[in-house]
């Protein structure tokens, strides 16, 4: 069960004009709770005028060795989002020594290091979880290789430029790095311009043996992730090998149209071993119903992106507005995103503990 703890900010490093990396110190007694897999994220929360704001940020630091202690520090990347209540605060107001409320790690955009060839296509701040994935994999699996294709507007706006260059220096044979800048010509490397489906379909087989890639990690804005997935599917890559995490959902498709819902319905939820049954108010999501009664219900983005509100649907039927977090196997197994779910039956039972 995800929990918040206050953690001290050890460092705030400016990495581009509009982004910072925040490093937190994890006290010894909490290190097990903050043990994370490469690719996971953390939710941060703060209160503004009585309203709680939560945002999730991917961890960029390498994951701790399973045989050793949990992490002594955690580092996340934060890029300024226009009008973003949390990111503006992170960039302008947070200083080393401050304390922030940090949720324990969550997310299924992860890689368990095993030998083989892996690849990622990332855009903008999508590099953040992939930096953790690449550094963990290459450090732990001496025979693993990684092809990292990153797309950014300009070199100056590229997050973690130095960290990625350091990885390339450390593993010159095992890390293939390809950079595409959409708004700037490079002296070496690929021509500038957007990476769209057509370009990717030609580029990927020219860069690496597509059919030998054990896992594809796509992370960034909706358009890039969608285009890459389509290009890969067109190249015959199995869906099970493609992992994706989307940022900036606003550019995505509109939520599904409302379908007939019962006039009155109730949700029964099991959460941290305790259950309860409550009426669902018109228009609200099941997460909102549960939160009104159990403020400890897990969530972060409320936008169908982070997967923190995942619950198992024990009985009843729901309609999900949007889902950018659950894999097909998870929805087929019966998992739903509570923040996107609305009842289609008079009773719905959810289990947040499963
Ligand atoms: S809270 Fe993020 S997907 Fe539901």
pLDDT band, very low/low/confident/very high, at 189 (cuts 50, 70, 90): low
Domain count of the fold of the chain: 3
CB 327 within 8 A of CB 300: no
User: Which domain CATH number covers 283?
Assistant: 3.10.20.30
**Ligand 1 pocket mutation pick from 245, 247, 302 by most atoms within 8 angstroms of CB:** 302
**Ligand 1 pocket mutation pick from 103, 309, 318 by most atoms within 8 angstroms of CB:** 309
Does a structural domain hold residue 126? yes
Task: Confirm or reject: Cβ of 43 under 6 Å from ligand 1.
Answer: no
Instruction: Indicate whether 221 and 275 sit together in one domain.
Output: no
Instruction: Indicate whether 68 and 144 sit together in one domain.
Output: no
Domain that residue 60 falls in: 4-103
Residue at a domain's end among 248, 280, 300: 248
Does a structural domain hold residue 259? no
Instruction: Indicate whether 272 and 236 sit together in one domain.
Output: no
User: Which domain CATH number covers 91?
Assistant: 2.40.30.10
Instruction: Indicate whether 42 and 137 sit together in one domain.
Output: no
Instruction: Indicate whether 242 and 157 sit together in one domain.
Output: yes
Q: What pTM did the predictor assign?
A: 0.90
Ligand 1 atom, smallest distance to 300 CA: 1
Does a structural domain hold residue 130? yes
Q: What percent of the chain has pLDDT over 70?
A: 96
User: Which domain CATH number covers 124?
Assistant: 3.40.50.80
pLDDT band, very low/low/confident/very high, at 250 (cuts 50, 70, 90): low
Residue at a domain's end among 248, 274, 301: 248
Does a structural domain hold residue 328? yes
Ligand 1 atom, smallest distance to 310 CA: 4
Instruction: Indicate whether 96 and 209 sit together in one domain.
Output: no
The Å distance, Cα 68 to ligand 1 centre, comes to: 31
Instruction: Indicate whether 188 and 244 sit together in one domain.
Output: yes
Instruction: Indicate whether 239 and 269 sit together in one domain.
Output: no
**Ligand 1 pocket mutation pick from 40, 52, 303 by most atoms within 8 angstroms of CB:** 303
Instruction: Indicate whether 278 and 243 sit together in one domain.
Output: no
The Å distance, Cα 307 to ligand 1 centre, comes to: 5
The Å distance, Cα 310 to ligand 1 centre, comes to: 7
Instruction: Indicate whether 123 and 173 sit together in one domain.
Output: yes
Residue 251 has pLDDT above 60, yes or no: no
Residue at a domain's end among 248, 280, 311: 248
The Å distance, Cα 324 to ligand 1 centre, comes to: 9
Q: Which residue has the tokens 């800048």?
A: 181
Ligand 1 atom, smallest distance to 338 CA: 4
**pLDDT (tens digit per residue) in 218-231:** 999 999 999 999 99
- Mean per-residue pLDDT for 7-11? 98
Q: Give pLDDT, residue 259.
A: 65
Instruction: Indicate whether 94 and 133 sit together in one domain.
Output: no
Task: Confirm or reject: Cβ of 307 under 6 Å from ligand 1.
Answer: yes
pLDDT band, very low/low/confident/very high, at 252 (cuts 50, 70, 90): very low
According to DSSP, the residues that pair with 42 across neighbouring strands are 57
Task: Confirm or reject: Cβ of 252 under 6 Å from ligand 1.
Answer: no
Residue nearest to atom 3 of ligand 1 (CA): 304
The Å distance, Cα 325 to ligand 1 centre, comes to: 8
Does a structural domain hold residue 202? yes
Instruction: Indicate whether 127 and 178 sit together in one domain.
Output: yes
């Amino acid at each position: 069960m995800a929990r918040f703890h206050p953690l001290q900010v050890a460092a705030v490093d400016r990495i581009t004009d509009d982004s910072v990396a925040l490093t937190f110190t994890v006290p010894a007694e909490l290190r097990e709770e903050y043990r994370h897999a490469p690719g996971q994220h953390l939710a941060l929360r703060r209160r503004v005028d009585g309203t709680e704001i939560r945002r999730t940020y991917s961890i960029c630091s390498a994951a701790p060795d399973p045989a050793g202690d949990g992490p002594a520090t955690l580092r996340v990347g934060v890029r300024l989002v226009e009008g973003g209540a949390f990111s503006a605060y992170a960039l302008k107001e947070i200083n080393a020594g401050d304390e922030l409320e940090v949720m324990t790690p969550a997310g299924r955009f992860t890689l368990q290091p095993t030998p083989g060839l892996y690849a990622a296509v990332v855009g903008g701040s999508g590099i953040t979880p992939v930096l953790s994935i690449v550094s963990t994999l290459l450090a732990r699996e001496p025979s693993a290789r990684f092809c990292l294709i990153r797309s950014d507007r300009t070199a100056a706006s590229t997050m973690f430029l130095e960290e990625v260059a350091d990885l390339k220096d450390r593993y010159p044979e095992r890390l293939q790095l390809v950079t595409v800048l959409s708004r700037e010509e490079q002296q070496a490397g690929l021509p500038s311009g957007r990476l769209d489906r057509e370009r990717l379909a030609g580029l990927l087989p020219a860069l690496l043996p597509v059919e030998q890639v054990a896992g594809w990690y796509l992370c960034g804005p909706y358009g890039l992730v969608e285009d890459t997935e389509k290009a890969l599917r067109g190249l015959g890559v199995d869906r099970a090998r493609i992992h994706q995490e989307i940022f900036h959902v606003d550019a995505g498709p509109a939520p599904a149209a409302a379908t007939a819902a019962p006039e009155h319905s109730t949700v029964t939820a099991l959460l941290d071993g305790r259950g309860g049954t409550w009426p669902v108010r018109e228009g609200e999501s099941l997460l909102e119903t549960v939160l009104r009664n159990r403020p400890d219900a897990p969530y972060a983005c409320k936008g169908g992106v982070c997967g923190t509100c995942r619950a198992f649907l024990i009985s009843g039927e729901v309609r999900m507005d949007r889902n950018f977090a659950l894999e097909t196997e998870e929805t087929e197994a019966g998992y739903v995103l509570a923040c996107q779910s609305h009842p289609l039956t008079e009773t719905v039972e959810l289990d947040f503990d499963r």
